[in-house]
Amino acid sequence: MVFAPWPATPVDAPGAELRLTSHLIQAVRAGIGIGLVPRILVEEELAKAELYSPGGAFASQRSYYLIYPPRNEALPSLRAFRSWLLEQI
């Protein structure tokens, strides 16, 4: 297991399942949600401030980057997820 279990009760809600990283990036840019993607795939969006990546980089055989539109930074659900994710690394 890469991450420890999410501490809250799971949400049983329908959601999109995106199989391609490019689709995930498009969804995040549209403000639909957040994503974990290789940084190299979103360098341009990050440079243009179209996406935001919190926290710093960390050494790992696999790297993950949490990205989301800057306008969503204050969302409580995003803040909770970000805090949990940063605790994992």
Residue 35 lies in a domain: yes
pLDDT tens across 42-83, in order?
Answer: 999 999 988 888 765 555 666 667 778 888 888 898 888 888
pLDDT of 1: 43
Structural domain for 83, as ranges: 21-88
In a domain, 37, yes or no: yes
Average model confidence (pLDDT) for the chain?
77
Backbone φ, ψ for residue 75 (5° rounding): -65, 130
Query: Has residue 77 been placed in a domain?
Result: yes
The more confident residue out of 76 and 37 is 76
Q: How many Å apart are CA 11 and CA 54, to the nearest integer? A: 24
Whether 34 maps to a domain, the answer reads yes
Q: What is 57-72 written as a DSSP string?
A: ----SS--EEEB-GGG
Domains: count for the chain: 1
Which pair of structure tokens corresponds to residue 6?
């999410």
- If one counts every other C-beta atom within 10 angstroms of the C-beta of residue 63, the result is 14
10 in any annotated domain: no
Residue 44 has a pLDDT of 93
Please report whether residue 15 resides in a domain: no
Stretch 1-24: mean pLDDT: 67
Is position 11 within any domain? Answer: no
